[in-house]
Amino acid sequence: MTEYSSMSCDCYSLTILDRHTNQEYVVELPSDRYVLEALEERGIELPFACRNGACTTCAVRVKSGCLEQSEGMGLGAELQQMGYALLCIGKLRSDVVAETQDEDEVYQLQFSRHFSRRRWYEKLWDWGLGLGD
């Protein structure tokens, strides 16, 4: 476990397990800053891609506490209710315990109901519209 101290501000404690590296971090972060940005300023690098809440690369599962994410569209309300949050648009509203997630797993949870695993043209045969029929 690596501990990082805070500056003087309205701060909360974040304990986060990076499942990719099995490294746990404990850090005080300001409540008015995005978590990902504040972590990077302390030399903690976690997965990210878009930085605007549109993807699921920086998704975490909040085990306890409140991580507000009123901005962004990468996670629907259902996943947020299940405890998922995005670090790039999340702000601490209490002490939080969280762990990083597998991006593909979260993406499937978020979007699988919209996209089938089968290609669109494979469905043509199911509908009796196969090519060359």
Taking only the tens place, the pLDDT of each residue in 16-75 is: 999 999 999 999 999 999 999 999 999 999 999 999 998 889 999 999 999 999 877 888
Is residue 133's pLDDT more than 50?
Answer: no
* 118-124 contacts at long range (C-beta below 8 A, 24 or more positions apart): none
Which of these, 12, 17, 71, 89, lies nearest to 46 by C-alpha position? 17
The pLDDT value recorded for residue 71 is: 79
The structural domains of the chain, ordered by start, are 2-126 (3.10.20.30)
Phi, psi of 55 (to 5 degrees): -125, -170
